[in-house]
Structure 1
Amino acid sequence: MRKVVITGTPPADWVAEADAITAELRAAPDEPSRKLVLDEHDGFWRDERIRDWLLEQFSNKCWYTEAEDSISPIHVDHFRPKGRVTNLDKSRESGYWWLSFNWKNYVIAGHLINSKKGDLFPILKGETRATPNCPEAQLKLEGAVLIDPLTDQTRLISYDRDDDGCIAVLAGGIDEIEKFKAEKTIEILGLNRLDKLNQKRGKKWDECLAEIEDYNGARAHGAQALVWLMKERAIVNLKKKVKYEAEFSSIAEACIRKKAPEPVIAAVFER
């Protein structure tokens, strides 16, 4: 996965309206009253002002898969479910209703990924789920199992080629808790269940592999100037594939780091 980097701030008018709705929600005396507020403002998170701003943050890609909408329509998802929460053992708890209109709890997600996730949001064994009175900063300490695409934990999931396409796999060198989080994130989101997605990722992997092979095979062309030209062209093309805005840039990065010679890795990811 690739970390989504938020730049700038959402439209101020949308945020002001969202804050007012949240204040109304928090002031509601009981759950039925909160439901009335939620029903009245249902879909406010799909308002074009916030949706378009969120889409811009990751070049119109799903934050979980890096796929554009050719895989499935794009939704604004609540990372922490607003209505109810389902644990891994299928038990249920109250959702994060107070985050319903908090843009920091929103994720751009493809419909098929979002529908698979549903209201699943387990936390690690022994950890305590956040409550409405917890400071927002405490959410980071909650011990969520699902990997947040806004965090560096996205590094826990890599990719590899198989016979049918390219699948999400565990990154190397991670500890047992990190393995658990990565495994469950792949399972909860169904990152490997969509054939079309796997095939599109596989195409990206193969494109990168072809560039790597061009780099490796360049010396067979004899003339030194031509050799250098082919090597440089391969590196330029690989750099384009790992750009933040490129579709499946994390697949390109995984392929390069796993299949390319060290000089190519150094050149592509030079700082």
Structure 2
Amino acid sequence: MIHIDRSGFEPDIEWINKTDALTRQLINAPDAPTRNQIIDDNQVIWGELKDFLLSISNEKCWYSEAKDKYNHLHVDHFRPKKIALGIDKKDKGGYWWLAFTWTNYRVCGGAGNVRKRDKFAVRNNKSNDPNTPIEDELVYFLDPCEEEDVLKITFNPKGEVTPIKTTGWDFERADYTIKGLNLNFKKLKEARQDVWVEISTLVSETQNLMDLNDANPSVFRRGQIKEKLKQIKDLVKPSAEFSATVKACLVSTGLPWASKIAA
């Protein structure tokens, strides 16, 4: 998971006007069945935004960073539309008024979206209507759109996602997210493990060349080092699959130059 920066991105005005009108219908609806029918009748709306959302994340799942290892990519409602299951697995009330709000959308691989479904636990200040600010909620799911949230998980050589901490609220959120989004899905772990091996090999080869060049400097060897560093930097780019895993591997080496690239 890496931070998804949505600043500077906005759907086209026609889509915004259409969804604003639907949101007004939801707010003015007399009861929940009517609201649900409006949502059901307009399910194509968020699908229309899929390509736009993918353009923000370099075609990657916003949660897993996978492009095709996490099954078909879906448009996920971060806060569920009709039902929101708490820690006790009981419905605490969905976020119907956000059904057509694009900032509530995330791109998610099918394996994660199916697991997530209606899960959305809130520790405090649960919002149940458009007049109660969602900004006051203490939610369990880590949000890729929140820069601080992505810092609460890391990766290991087995390709597994793990919480940074072992206790406390940060641990609870990370653990809930990893399990609730199926982030240790078998194919994901295997793909991240392959990336870890690839970057570890590159780091080892680079360090060996650096040591040799320090003992016996050569222009040719300096060129080799430059090429290895470029390969590593390409794997760290936001457009690369599993770039967060690459960064975790670089930091784990303890080498100052590798950590600097990961920063």
Shorter-normalised TM-score: what interval? over 0.9
Count residues with an aligned counterpart.
Answer: 258
Please say if residues 87 and 121 of structure 2, whose CA atoms lie closer than 8 Å, have aligned partners that are also in contact: yes
Q: Distance in 1 between matches of 2:101 and 2:25?
A: 13
Q: Distance in 2 between matches of 1:133 and 1:95?
A: 11
Among 159, 182, 202, the residue aligned to 1:211? 202
Among 250, 258, 267, the residue aligned to 2:252? 258
Among 198, 201, 211, the residue aligned to 2:192? 201
Confirm whether residue 187 of structure 1 aligns to residue 187 of structure 2. no
Alignment of 1:130-141 (within 5 A): 130-134=127-131, 138-141=133-136
1:52-76 residue CA offsets vs partner (Å, 9 max, x unmatched): 1101000111000000024300000
Residue 131 of structure 2 aligns to a residue in which SS?
coil
Q: In the alignment, which residue of structure 2 is the partner of 1:169?
A: 162
Please say if residues 4 and 145 of structure 2, whose CA atoms lie closer than 8 Å, have aligned partners that are also in contact: yes
Aligned-residue offset at 1:262: 0.4
Please say if residues 156 and 178 of structure 1, whose CA atoms lie closer than 8 Å, have aligned partners that are also in contact: yes
Indicate the RMSD between aligned Cα atoms, in angstroms: 1.7
Q: Distance in 2 between matches of 1:226 and 1:85?
A: 60
Alignment of 1:10-25 (within 5 A): 10-25=11-26
Please say if residues 199 and 246 of structure 2, whose CA atoms lie closer than 8 Å, have aligned partners that are also in contact: yes
Q: In the alignment, which residue of structure 2 is the partner of 1:120?
A: 119
**Residue type of the partner of 2:47?**
R
Q: Distance in 2 between matches of 1:186 and 1:69?
A: 19
TM-score by length of 1: 0.90
Please say if residues 69 and 187 of structure 2, whose CA atoms lie closer than 8 Å, have aligned partners that are also in contact: no
Please say if residues 125 and 136 of structure 2, whose CA atoms lie closer than 8 Å, have aligned partners that are also in contact: no
TM-score by length of 2: 0.92
Q: Distance in 2 between matches of 1:220 and 1:145?
A: 49
Q: In the alignment, which residue of structure 2 is the partner of 1:75?
A: 74
Alignment of 1:6-45 (within 5 A): 6=6, 7-45=8-46
Higher alpha-carbon deviation: 221-230 or 257-266: 221-230
Q: Distance in 1 between matches of 2:93 and 2:181?
A: 21
Please say if residues 93 and 128 of structure 2, whose CA atoms lie closer than 8 Å, have aligned partners that are also in contact: no
Identity %: 28
Among 228, 248, 251, the residue aligned to 2:242? 248
Please say if residues 212 and 260 of structure 1, whose CA atoms lie closer than 8 Å, have aligned partners that are also in contact: no
Please say if residues 235 and 264 of structure 1, whose CA atoms lie closer than 8 Å, have aligned partners that are also in contact: no
Higher alpha-carbon deviation: 23-32 or 96-105: 23-32
Aligned-residue offset at 1:179: 1.3
Residue 24 of structure 2 aligns to a residue in which SS?
helix
Q: In the alignment, which residue of structure 1 is the partner of 2:226?
A: 232
Q: Distance in 2 between matches of 1:258 and 1:269?
A: 10
Higher alpha-carbon deviation: 219-228 or 202-211: 219-228
Aligned-residue offset at 1:269: 4.5
Aligned-residue offset at 1:260: 5.0
Q: 1:258 to 1:140 in 2, by over 3 A?
A: farther
Gaps of 5+ in 2: none
Gaps of 5+ in 1: none
Q: Distance in 1 between matches of 2:20 and 2:68?
A: 30
**Moved beyond 6 Å, runs of 4+:** none
**Residue type of the partner of 2:181?**
L
